[in-house]
């Protein structure tokens, strides 16, 4: 993986008329409605929009946690709609990393064990794991807290651990659903700086859902705006 400082021309994810509908009783909810979007490798895309506009649903579709009702999603050269659930799991394990608003660390595991989890799932050899875990925690500057439990950490530190966990398996795409939503603005900025630094040093594509427009404008390379399930704007930042 060669470090790059910005977007390239190669396509990372391509959405083609993607819809995700939920049918509740008689009413159909169009959580994602006919979205087409192309994201290139190395981009840092911020997904903006009001609550309930379908940001999380779209992110989950791209992350292979959910399947679209119609439309095609091509990610890293694969059509996610055509993958079996096992192949989809392999895609999540090897191609992407995920960070959540509520951190989602396993409370009874130490930081090191939390970060090791994706390596276990990917069947990375034991001899290699410790080094990779140490490297990931070093990157988020938590290498002195490896044996602590998540509850012993601040929110920002927990989110950094979650980022280390998302990075440890060297994914090509990082998805983040409101990663700063539970943090104060200063901590939020430090997390954003961390993501930016990781993107440039590892050459990753980052797709982040956020409510905070100023943060998005400051850090993202491109703002995609959603409203009522539709993509209102996918323009790159001016």
Ligand X SMILES: Nc1ncnc2c1ncn2[C@@H]1O[C@H](COP(=O)(O)OP(=O)(O)OP(=O)(O)O)[C@@H](O)[C@H]1O
Residues that bind Mg ion (CB under 5 A): 56
28 burial (CB, 10 Å; 0-12 / 13-18 / 19+) is: exposed
Binding window for ligand X (CB under 6 A); candidates: 44-52, 73-81, 145-153, 167-175: 44-52
189-193 contacts at long range (C-beta below 8 A, 24 or more positions apart): 189/215, 189/218, 190/156, 191/156, 191/159, 191/160, 191/163, 192/218, 192/219, 193/219
Interface mask toward another protein for 118-157; x: CB under 8 A: x-xxxx--x-------------------------------
Cβ proximity to Mg ion: between 96 and 142 the closer is: 96
Report helix, strand or coil for 35.
strand
Would strands 173-177 and 96-99 be described as parallel, antiparallel, or unpaired?
parallel
Give every CB contact of residue 101 below 8 A, 6+ residues apart in sequence. 177, 178, 179, 181, 182
Regarding 94 and contact with another protein (CB under 8 A), the answer is yes
**Residue 147: CB minimum distance to another protein, A:** 15
With contact defined as beta carbons under 8 Å apart, do 19 and 33 qualify? yes
Answer whether 233's CB lies under 8 Å from 57's CB: no
Cross-strand pairs, 73:
15
Nearer to ligand X, 56 or 158 (CB): 56
151 or 238: CB nearest another protein: 151
The span of 33-41, 45-53, 81-89, 195-203 binding ligand X (CB under 6 A) equals 45-53
Per CB under 8 A, 83 contacts another protein: no
Both structure tokens of 222: 């491109």
Partner from ligand X, Mg ion, another protein, none binding residue 118, C-beta < 5-8 Å depending on class? another protein
Instruction: Give the per-residue contact string, 105-124, with ligand X (x = CB under 6 A; - = no).
Output: --------------------
Smaller CB distance to ligand X: residue 61 or 111?
61
Question: Is 54 near ligand X (CB under 6 A)?
Answer: yes
User: How far is residue 68's CA from residue 34's CA, in Å, rounded to a whole number?
Assistant: 10
SS3 label, residue 96: strand
Among 53, 146, 158, 159, binds ligand X (CB under 6 A): 53
CB 118, min distance to another protein, A:
5
Contacting positions for another protein (CB under 8 A): 60, 63, 65-66, 85-86, 89-94, 98, 100-102, 104, 106, 108-109, 117-118, 120-123, 126, 165, 169
């Amino acid at each position: 993986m060669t470090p790059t400082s910005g977007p390239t021309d190669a396509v990372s994810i391509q959405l083609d008329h993607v819809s995700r509908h939920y049918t509740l009783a008689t009413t159909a909810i169009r959580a994602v409605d006919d979205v087409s979007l192309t994201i290139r490798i190395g981009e840092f895309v911020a997904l903006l929009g009001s609550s309930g506009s379908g940001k999380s649903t779209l992110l989950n579709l791209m992350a292979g946690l959910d399947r679209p009702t119609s439309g095609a999603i091509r990610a890293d050269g694969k059509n996610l709609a055509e993958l079996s659930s096992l192949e989809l799991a392999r895609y999540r394990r090897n191609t992407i990393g995920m960070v959540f608003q509520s951190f989602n660390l396993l409370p009874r595991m130490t930081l090191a064990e939390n970060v090791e989890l994706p390596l276990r799932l990917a069947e990375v050899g034991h001899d290699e794991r410790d080094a990779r875990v140490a490297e990931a925690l070093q990157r988020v500057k938590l290498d002195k807290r490896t044996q602590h439990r998540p509850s012993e950490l601040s929110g920002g530190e927990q989110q950094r651990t979650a980022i280390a966990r998302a990075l440890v398996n060297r994914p090509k795409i990082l998805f983040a659903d409101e990663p700063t939503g539970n943090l104060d603005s200063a901590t939020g900025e430090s997390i954003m700086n961390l993501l930016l630094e990781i993107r440039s040093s590892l050459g990753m594509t980052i797709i982040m859902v956020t409510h905070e427009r100023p943060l998005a404008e400051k850090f993202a390379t491109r703002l995609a705006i959603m409203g009522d399930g539709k993509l209102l704007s996918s323009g790159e930042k001016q």
